[in-house]
Structure 1
Amino acid sequence: MRRRTRESMRMGENDLRALRFLLKRQAEGEPVTPAELGALLKLKSSSVTVMLDRLTVAGWVTRRPHPSDRRSLVIIATPGADEEVRHTLEAMHRRMLEAAGDLGEREAVVVREFLGRMSIAIGALDRSDGAP
């Protein structure tokens, strides 16, 4: 889904991660600084600047003065960015729900059990060093 959203919006993985983070924080009423984005994405300041320049030109974000720190900026996702992400994900979610709704009861049980086992297996990787 992330790949399709990125392709639809013509952006890279870090661009989409940054945008999703901005949208989440905005919904929580929390401002986001370029330094926070850099820490989240493990990017140097110069790389964050290049990414923000690209997202600004594309119309996905704007930069504004920080409300309490005159030396800093906050990054705001534009309403168009929020609408585009929602539109793209809603269409995908709708198709996924339709596919799930087509499953019979026995098929749904098998799929739930399989996904539960996969979740446990992936969770175990998160707790280890990732080696097979």
Structure 2
Amino acid sequence: MRAALEGVRAFSDAMDRMHTGLRGDMDMNATDLSALRMLSIREQHGELVKPHDLARHLGISSASTTKLIDRLAKEGFVVREPHPNDRRALVITLTESSRADFGRHFAARMARMRGALEPFTDGELRTIIRFLDEMSEALVDD
């Protein structure tokens, strides 16, 4: 168990270093990058993101969220759009250029991660997925 937890720590450290590199490459702060990552992940799952979802995810106030969204919109990373089912609400989405920029900076890393997964069987990958899901749940305070 200790070796597994040390592996998680090493993986977490590698993720931190990757995000530091991405922040430098994309010339943005940690909160901005976290917001874009969250939007990208939620988009991949087909989930809409309202400003309060972003605030809750980042642990920031609604005023700070407004400033964040204003900044990201001004820089062309996100747009505010009407919620498809609630005329009173807005959703925040990535722009096409933001998706392309994110993909460009992440493509080589994704290729290396896919290469690292190739030797594993489908059964092993299911175990890895289950492990990562359980670790993710263990880390989040609800």
Q: TM-score when scaled to structure 1?
A: 0.68
Higher Rg: 1
The equivalent position to 1:88 in structure 2, one of 76, 99, 105, is 105
Question: Quick one: percent identity of the two aligned structures?
Answer: 39
Q: Which runs of 5+ in 1 are unaligned?
A: 101-122, 128-132
The equivalent position to 1:5 in structure 2, one of 19, 22, 26, is 22
The equivalent position to 2:43 in structure 1, one of 14, 18, 26, is 26
Give the equivalent residue in structure 2 for 1:112: none
- 1:58 to 2:104 alignment: no
CA RMSD of aligned residues (A): 2.2
Q: Which runs of 5+ in 2 are unaligned?
A: 1-17, 117-134
Q: Structure 1's 6 and 70: CA in aligned 2 closer, same or farther, altered over 3 A?
A: same
Summarize the alignment of residues 1-132 of structure 1 with structure 2, pairs less than 5 Å apart. 1-93=18-110
Instruction: Give, as a single letter, the amino acid of the residue that structure 2 aligns with 1:43.
Output: I
SS at match of 2:87: coil
Distance in 1 between residues matched to 2:93 and 2:74, nearest whole Å = 13
Distance in 2 between residues matched to 1:23 and 1:36, nearest whole Å = 13
Distance in 1 between residues matched to 2:37 and 2:110, nearest whole Å = 16
Instruction: Give, as a single letter, the amino acid of the residue that structure 2 aligns with 1:75.
Output: I
Instruction: Give, as a single letter, the amino acid of the residue that structure 1 aligns with 2:47.
Output: E
